[in-house]
Structure 1
Amino acid sequence: MVRRSLVAVIGILLVPLVLSAASLRIEGDRAWLKADDVPLPKVLQLFEQRGVEVLVDPSLTLHRISGDWKNAEVGRLIAQLASPHSYMLEWRSEKSPLGDLFQISSIRIFSDGKQSVACRLSPQGKVLDVVEGENGVQYIRGEIMVGFNQESSIDDLKALLSRLNGTVIEVIDPPGLYRIKLNDDMSVEEAIRIAQAHGGVAATEPNLAFPTIASNILPLTGIAEGINLNLLPGETAIAVFDSGLDPAYADSPFIRGTYDALDPTAEISDPTGHGTLTSLIAAGAITPLGAKAAESGVPVLSVRTLDKNGMTSSDTIMRALEYAVNSGVKIISMSWGSEVRSQFLENTMNFAAQNGMRLYAAAGNEPTGTPVYPAGYSSVIAVGGLNPDGSQWENTNYGNFVERYEPALANFNDLSYAGTSVASPYAAFKAARGVSE
């Protein structure tokens, strides 16, 4: 494994940007749009990329857009884009560290009297648009995250947005960050450089992307306890951040709830099955090989943080943490990791831990001795893996950052899974039941 550092993240993309024939910036009720013979759905996708829900009647014939709108009132702009069809707008006021932001939240385009038939422009099942810098650091295309000094004002934010031709698509508070969408004519690297030099900015990072720590899939191994789907849960809940949950298990007595942090409007799903496995382990419904089956379970909040390619991002993890905190969960298990260290994520997890959250994370499935994150953060309990006989699993990561080891093999759906992503939810399960460490 190649050691990577965020310090060197400002690199040239290996994947070149394809310049778009349209660009968009939104600030409050004003918008700047430039389009050169672009189909209206493509223009509307620019609004989606900036956090606006777009619903369109699929039976409509939509035209192509050309024009250059500068500092246009958003309502009038949408009226021109939607013409001759009807439209409806919704707005939201969002609190932020620098002051309230008034932003458009929804656009609906439809035939007269048929607003109910409008459906989402883009289908559910979000896949992160991950690109890679020349040093191997991965992040989300066209997005940066910015934190401001305490003495900064909303005018500092507006001035930066003007320089970047960018749009705030999300406020994450805590820790007080602005997620900013760029147009294709500005790279993440250039935006980072501008933000670092901008007055009032305390710190900035790309919206980093991280891979799952996937379990190794093996032929069925050993004798397991089977799945206990009738296990009654106790009081202390665990949030499992992984690939989601198979809806077939959503009504199990130990599933407290579900949430898709990638796409909060989507129904829960699990495109890989990994999140279902880890959720069942955290609940006690699946017992890892070498462990003793429990007589009582743990309520689990299954949170989807990984897309079908096994990738997550800084904003997704922060959104998941906020949801878990607001749901009253005190223990979290995470099965993703990277050698890239994010100061923003570290601050977020430190804040969660300081407010009573216990964070567990898989230590990694490569025995390098090098920390992976989030397991390597001081506020997170890194969990390594054991064989069923209690010996150290040969593929577990190790080192001073690993605080404990738990069984790393489990059977599920006629296969065996081996990895520290089995050990982490089991450590969280034991913590929730008050089992001595």
Structure 2
Amino acid sequence: MERVSVSWILRACLLFMLITAVWGGVQAEQGSDYVPGEVIVRYANLGSGTAVASVASSLNAQIGAETIYTDEVMGINGMQVVKVPDTISVPDAVQFYKSNEHVLYAEPNYVITLPTPLGKGENIIQGLDSETPGMTIPNDPDFDLQWGLYNTLNSSAGRADISAPEAWNISTGSSDVIVAVVDSGVDYNHEDLAANCLKGFDFVNYDEDPMDDNGHGTHCAGIISAVTDNSIGIAGVSWNSKILPVKVFDATGVSNTALEIMGIVYAKEQGANIISCSWGSHIYSEALKDAIDSTDALFVCSAGNDGYDNDEIPYYPAGYNSAHIISVGASDEYDMLTWFSNYGAVSVDLLAPGQNIYSTLPGDYGFMDGTSMSVPFVSGTAALIKSEKPGYDAGQIKNLILNSVDQKFWLNSTCATGGRLNAYKPLSLVLPLNADFKAEPVSGTIPLNVQFVDMSSGEPETWHWTFGDGFESTLQNPTHLYMKPGKYSITLTISKEGLSSIAEKENFIHVKPPYQPVKAFPDGKGGFYPVPTDADDDGLFEDINGNGWLEYEDPKLLFDQILFAMKEEPIGQFDFDKSGFIGFGDVVKLYQMV
């Protein structure tokens, strides 16, 4: 692991001398949401450090306050943390400092607590296929427990994972990319983390040993960048990016604003490209926002586990108005919002897997639930993008991630993008190799002969087509004959020099039954209903009563006239259940379609 800079060793010593005496008061009093007796003050720019120090010294003397952290220690110009005497309350001290014209703001040193792990999961995936075209499947023995990376539980719903195997076919990350895990520390000796961990820092004990004595930070780190394809344990989203452990939460999961600010500033000075923040609270801190705004890093932040609407009840730091913060909610194995996740059609950007998540723990492995687990999926994906596009800034990476989610209509009211993280799509957008195709015709009656034309860029070397009916081809421009009615999704996977790109078009080819004219149903009064119609041009005449739209009267009429349909109507036009004949199954299917 790399060594921390000398300046930070000196700072650590200074911090230890300054604060050891008061660390016993860091835990909040029962029922309090701030550290007793501590206030964060930020002074306006007075032109020189001497002038700021003079004003600060004067104000402190007036109420008998002592400086705990100077702005040099905090890393933010004009920001200090002071200890006020027991004779004055923290709210009164805050108002005292705020009343001075040279103070930008003052606030309590708020206490933040890590989310409590919500539960354990179970093995839900079996039998991964390492030969699937367009995918890279690692040999880590517990990869089949990591449904968030590759979910075979409900393939009919689109897998509900982040498409990690497809992403790894493009990139497995770079050791030049640093992801800071600002959390409870990291087990940097873990068999599945050691090779990817840098030397970090512990702001709880003010030393160079950010060992995790809580477990939360290690679990997050493993999701981001566990050593992968090493025949040990699990896979990380970014196989090769580096983890910078920054310990700001103690063994009980408690931290405060001052420690978090110092951790963020440290991560900035160590060159972190992405800062992963799986914590937060409903308290707005101007000081914490200033620290975030002082960096160029991408901040990935959890939306919280209260089940609240963050549009109504904001959660920070995820809720700060910042161009380089991503707010992440939690999805489950079925692409649904989890029962615990906060949400917000405006304030939460996207969802990512956050339930039954298997990852590293200190000296072990295990499951956790929470938006804390969703955050590192996004952080790892950001690391993959940064690996491929080193010149991209935080805003560009954020926009790329948010513009390439897997959108689900039922998520529209839960987050701004209406979708769940996809790691493959943003990588495919930055590649020179991009799959694309067209077909002619895309609609017609059986037998339907379709010509597929490769329109990919980047001069691919191989092609793999799936036609949606069980048949495949490796030709560049194949033709395919469809003999069964239905709507078929087409996938083209191209590859070149170990990279691949995938284009998929859902329900792209529409094959209809052979056309036969239908007859009007008798109305029982000596006349006939209007002739049934095929309003959606799919070859099936769902509008039984001929009034122009599908409604409950249509299956009712078909039920009444089923014998007539069996005898007089062409089978293909009324075979809604694809059974090969007209019967009561078609009535049931038509009811379901309504």
- The TM-score with structure 2 as length reference comes to 0.48
Residue 128 of structure 1: aligned partner: 26
> Is the Cα–Cα contact under 8 Å of residues 237 and 377 in structure 2 kept in the other structure?
no
- Measure, in 2, the Cα distance between the counterparts of 1:181 and 1:145: 9
2:358 maps to amino acid: N
| Residue identity matched to 1:140 | V
Which one has more relative contact order, counting CA pairs under 8 Å at least 6 apart? 1
Q: Does 1:262 align with 2:262?
A: no
1:363-389, CA deviations, whole angstroms, 9 ceiling, x for partnerless residues?
A: 111221123111111222101111123
Higher helix share: 2
**Structure 1 residue 311, shift from structure 2 partner:** 1.5
The aligned counterpart of 2:80 is 178
Post-superposition shift, 1:419? Answer: 0.9
Contact 1:215 1:421 in 2 (8 A): no
- Correspondences of 1:232-251 after superposition (within 5 Å): 234-249=175-190
Match of 1:208 in 2: 110
Specify every segment of 5 or more residues in structure 1 that has no aligned partner in the other structure, as ranges. 1-92, 95-102, 108-119
Aligned residue in 1 for 2:569: none
Query: Cα distance, 1:305 vs. partner?
Result: 1.4
Cross-structure match for 1:48: none
SS at match of 2:189: helix
Of 62, 83, 99, the match for 1:197: 99
The 5 Å alignment of 1:228-377 reads 234-249=175-190, 252-265=194-207, 267-285=209-227, 296-352=239-295, 356-370=296-310, 371-377=314-320
Whether the 8 Å CA contact 1:242–1:335 is kept in 2: the answer is yes
Deviation by residue 1:117-137 (Cα, 9 ceiling, x = unmatched): xxx9889x97832136xxx66
The C-alpha deviation readout for 1:261-310, integer Å capped at 9, x for no partner, is 222226222222111111111114489xxx98658332111111111221
1:150 aligns with 2:101: no
CA 1:252–1:217 in structure 2 vs 1: closer, same or farther (change >3 Å)? same
2:323 aligned with 1:382 = no
The whole-number CA distance in structure 2 between the counterparts of 1:195 and 1:227 is 53
Specify whether residues 204 and 414 from structure 1 end up closer, same or farther in structure 2 by C-alpha distance, changes over 3 A only.
closer
Equivalent-residue separation in structure 2 for 1:351 and 1:332 (angstroms): 13
After superposition, give the CA deviation of every residue in 1:102-147 in whole Å (9 maximum; x if it has no partner): x99859xxxxxxxxxxxx9889x97832136xxx661111111111
Structure 1 residues 237 and 105, CA gap change in structure 2 (3 angstroms): closer
2:377 to 426, 432, 435: 426
Correspondent of 1:411 among 331, 353, 358: 358
Distance 1:321 1:106, change over 3 A: closer
Amino acid at match of 1:168: T
Give ranges in structure 2 of 5+ residues lacking alignment. 1-9, 126-141, 147-171, 386-422, 427-594
Say if 1:126 and 1:307, in contact at 8 Å, map to a contact too. no
Name the aligned partner's letter for residue 351 of structure 2: Y
Mark the CA change 1:373 to 1:121 in structure 2 (over 3 Å): closer, same or farther: closer
> Is the contact between residue 187 and residue 218 of structure 2 (CA under 8 Å) also seen in structure 1?
yes
Q: Which amino acid is 1:200 matched to? A: H
The question of whether the paired residues in 2 share the 8 Å contact of 1:383 and 1:403 is answered with yes
Task: Give the conservation status (yes or no) of the 8 Å contact 1:340–1:372.
Answer: yes
C-alpha contact (below 8 Å) 1:168/1:180 kept by paired residues: yes
Report what 1:169 is aligned to.
68
Cα 1:154–1:305 change in 2 (3 A) is closer
The residue type equivalent to 2:369 in the other structure is A
Give per-residue Cα distances to partners, 1:77-113, cap 9 Å, x unaligned: xxxxxxxxxxxxxxxx99xxxxxxxx99859xxxxxx
Q: Percent identity?
A: 23
- Equivalent position SS for 1:206: strand
Q: How does 1:31-180 map to 2 (within 5 A)?
A: 106=17, 128-131=26-29, 138-151=33-46, 153-171=52-70, 172-180=74-82
Whether the aligned pair in 2 keeps the contact of 1:175 and 1:347 (CA below 8 Å) is no
Return 360-369 or 146-155, whichever deviates more. Answer: 146-155
Please state how far the C-alpha of 1:155 moved relative to its aligned partner: 2.4
What is the CA–CA distance in structure 2 between the aligned matches of 1:372 and 1:286, rounded to whole Å? 33
Structure of higher CA gyration radius: 2
Structure 1, 244-253 or 189-198: larger mean CA deviation: 244-253
CA gap of 1:283–1:315, structure 2 versus 1, over 3 A, is same
Please state whether the residue corresponding to 1:368 is helix, strand or coil.
Answer: coil
SS in 2 for 1:256: coil
Q: In 2 relative to 1, CA 326–293 (structure 1 residues): closer, same or farther, beyond 3 Å? A: closer
CA contact (8 A) 2:40 2:109 kept: yes
How big is the shift at 1:417? Answer: 1.1
Contact 1:225–1:293, Cα closer than 8 Å, also in 2:
no
Label 1:406 to 1:219 Cα distance change in 2 as closer, same or farther (>3 A): closer
Distance 2:321 2:91 in 1: 29
Q: 2:220 is aligned with what amino acid?
A: T
CA contact (8 A) 1:225 1:286 kept: no
CA distance in 2, matches of 1:121, 1:168: 13
Q: What SS is found at the alignment partner of 1:146?
A: strand
Q: Distance in 2 between matches of 1:309 and 1:372?
A: 21
Q: CA 1:197–1:398 in 2, change beyond 3 Å: closer, same or farther?
A: same
Query: Hey, what's the Cα distance between the residues in 1 that align with 2:358 and 2:58?
Result: 55
In the other structure, the counterpart of 1:218 is: 120
- Residue 105 to residue 357, structure 1, CA distance change in 2 (3 Å): closer
- Secondary structure of the residue aligned to 1:208 is strand
| Pair 1:194–1:297, CA change in 2 (3 A) | same
Q: Is the CA contact (8 Å cut-off) linking 2:223 and 2:235 kept in structure 1?
A: no
Match of 1:187 in 2: 89
1:163 is matched by which residue type in structure 2? Q
Code of the residue aligned with 1:245 in structure 2: it is: V
Contact 2:109 2:256 in 1 (8 A): yes
Change (3 A) 1:429 1:295: closer
1:140-198 deviations in Å (ceiling 9; x for gaps): 11111111122364321111111121111212232530111122233212211221223
